[in-house]
Amino acid sequence: MQTLTIIGAVFLGIAALIHLYIFYLESIAWSKPKTWKIFGFSSQSEADAVKPMAYNQGYYNGFLALGVIIGLVLITTDVAQAGYALAIFAGASMVLAATVLITSNIKLARAAVLQGGAPLVGIVLLIVSLV
């Protein structure tokens, strides 16, 4: 396996871990004050008002992480091309979601960079390793 592939896989693995953490926050720990304060809510009633949306969004992040993880595993098998495709697609979805986040509110730029930085580096490295 090429060095760029390995480094790209590491960045995508980090992105998957970040998205699994976001899944945990949004779908499991949402009702805890420490969690909803991270997302800028000032009361339990505000957090409860968007709880169904956060729950859904958390699973979306979890599924993206799962896509990256399955893709990275497949890269090490006889169907490596499918693994590259899946990892790059899931990573690109993370980057595009981060782009939507930052365009929705510039105050969320830090969160968008956290959400989209690692997958962007990872997919660029994987693509470069393929050409």
Domain boundaries, the chain: 3-22+52-130
Q: How far apart are CA 63 and CA 56, in angstroms?
A: 11
116 pLDDT higher than 80: yes
Helix (H, G, I), strand (E, B) or coil at 1: coil
18 Ramachandran zone, left/alpha/beta (phi>0; psi -120 to 50): alpha
pLDDT given for residue 8 in this prediction: 96
CA–CA–CA angle 97, 23, 59 (5° rounding): 75
Chain centroid offset of residue 66 CA: 10
Q: Taking a C-beta distance cutoff of 8 angstroms, is the pair 125, 4 a contact?
A: yes
Q: Six-digit token pair at 62?
A: 């979890």
Span 41-51, average pLDDT: 91
pLDDT given for residue 72 in this prediction: 97
pLDDT-above-90 percentage for the chain: 83
pLDDT given for residue 108 in this prediction: 86
Q: Six-digit token pair at 93?
A: 């979805």
